[in-house]
Chain A
Amino acid sequence: MAEAATATRGHAEGETRRDFIYLAAGGMGVVGAAAVAWPFISFMNPSADVLALSTTEVDLKPVQEGMAITVTWRGKPVFVRKRTKAEIDAAAATPLSALPDPQPDSARAKKPEWLILVGVCTHLGCVPLGQKTADPKGEFGGWFCPCHGSHYDTSGRIRKGPAPKNLEVPAYAFLDDTTIRIG
């Protein structure tokens, strides 16, 4: 039908111009739809007040050696652990070849005695156990995630279980010897 109509008019180039208008109009429609979609997608991302809460200051004075505290940062638990000499040595002595996600302990702590980690299992987001003295600490003396059975060592590195990565080390800075700011 369309071919017959074009043939009677006898203008092949007219068809090309019509195609161009279709494509140009369709293209503008897509650009317009994307421009409208952008604010709606962005609307669902973290808002200014949520972003404003992205730092937390922690006073380390009350934390004794071998103790661990949990603080909240961006709605997530952050583990602050003052490690014992034995724990630091165990973490440092582990060969990188034994790690699923190889990372030396020295790259995970600014001061060896202070280990600061986001307390969220890298598998599906549960909070691992090991902060309290009565908690199971897993086979490597660090943390154990009860949801799907991931074991972390004294550097928070994944050693066994389904989690793909080490516990995340958040960005933090020592404001003075006994205060840190996370975020």
Chain B
Amino acid sequence: MAAPAFKNGLVRWIDHRLPVFSFLHHELHEYPTPKNLSYWWNFGSLAGIVLVIMIATGIFLAMHYTPHTLYAFDSVERIMRDVNYGWLIRYIHMNGASFFFIVVYIHIFRGMYYGSYKAPRELLWILGVVILLLMMATAFMGYVLPWGQMSFWGATVITNLFSAIPVVGDWIVTWLWGGFSVDNPTLNRFFSLHYLLPFLIVAVVMLHMVALHRFGSGNPLGIDVKGPQDSIPFHPYYTAKDSFGLGVFLILFAGVVFFAPNLFGEPDNYIPANPMVTPPHIVPEWYFLPYYAILRAIPNKLLGVIAMFASILVLFILPWLDTARVRSAKFRPTYRKFFWVLVIDCFVLGYVGANPPEGWFVITGQIATAYYFFHFLILLPVLGLIERPLPLPQSISAPVLKPAEGKA
């Protein structure tokens, strides 16, 4: 790669000593991107932007928040009522978490549909799963900070999951709490870690980008870029497309922040935490509901906890569970149907997780949990071997340019 000739003398001087401008030119302008990316490819950059929004609003909220059991709830209410634009910054942060998960879940399912995790992008996918786990830990600890009833009992139930570990379980839970129940030491450390983890996410996102730029984006056809006629520079083409998508996203996001800011929230979290009274119906935030349903589907405490963690850990080995050589579901007619069954299954799990474990919800949750693991552990390995994929086009350009070129 030849260093580009910059017109500005100062830029040339800096770039010779610190090649940031060459780097940006190489990774944005020269970076060849498949020319057939659809809007499903917007959600990666969108997730990055939401991460920046969350960090920015979070740093400002920390300037007025007090991490103490006696003051936390009141300090959040003070942010809402007395602090200038406090309501705005908090509602952006609070709903930003929900939108972050919406964007990331779409990004993950896009990866599943188009086989984005297949060679040579396995590590790219695994880094993404690491980001998901860090996001879940961050979101959980952030939800505890306002110290409402759901904060407190969510923290109690989730930390108690670790008590299911044989022998050392109780010791670990006491260690996590820094006491004998969720209390001030717990709140303090959750605040500390809630501030730290987003920066770890930034670090893993950077690795995710390094891995991405090694082989470039996949594309809806799932075939490799075969030459310059198949790609266009990222900038200005995809910066423009991403910006348009960002505009649409921000309209929806602002719509919720301004007109339905508590849409995703639980009213019980506006009641101050009371360690003596558990609310009659406790549920986690919506983005954890499917995992919660899996936890409750199994009547044994330890096995339930194992199943819940396994539902995410199975994603780490997804690149090796899927035996199909063809990446895109566009050319896998059978897989395409089962992909949508999995999407519906996840919604069913979410619905079951939101409801009390009684009556037909119990058996529905158990069937949906069994299907979730069946999809990854049995269906994907077998389907890759027996499915007959449709013929792949010869190149990204071929279907479009064939009449003009007259040859393949």
Contacts and interface: CB of A to CB of B under 8 A. Distances in A.
A126 interface: yes
B153 A76 contact: no
Contact of B157 (A41, A126, A162): A126
Contacts of B275: 72, 75-77
Nearest to B180: A74
A29 interface: no
B314 to A, nearest CB: 23
A44 B175 CA distance: 6
Given A44-B175, A125-B156, A126-B157, A74 B181 contact: yes
A149 B357 CA distance: 8
A70 B278 CA distance: 14
Indicate the size class of the contact surface on chain B. Answer: 20 to 34
B281 A124 contact: no
Contacts of A44: 175-176, 178, 189
A68 to B, nearest CB: 13
Interface in A95-135: 120, 123-127
A125 B160 contact: yes
Interface in A114-167: 120, 123-127, 145-149, 162-164
Contacts of B159: 125
A163 B174 CA distance: 19
A149 B183 CA distance: 25
Nearest to A121: B278
Contact of A123 (B175, B185, B301): B301
A64 interface: no
Contacts of B178: 44-47, 50
B157 A74 contact: no
Nearest to A126: B278
Interface string A61-88: 0000000001010111100000000000
A47 B175 CA distance: 11
A129 to B, nearest CB: 8
B332 interface: no
A145 to B, nearest CB: 8
B327 interface: no
Contact of B278 (A47, A74, A146): A146
A86 to B, nearest CB: 27
10 contacts: A44-B178, A50-B179, A76-B181, A76-B275, A126-B282, A146-B278, A147-B282, A148-B296, A149-B357, A164-B301
Interface of B: 153, 156-157, 159-161, 163, 174-183, 185, 189, 275-278, 280-282, 296, 299-301, 304, 356-358
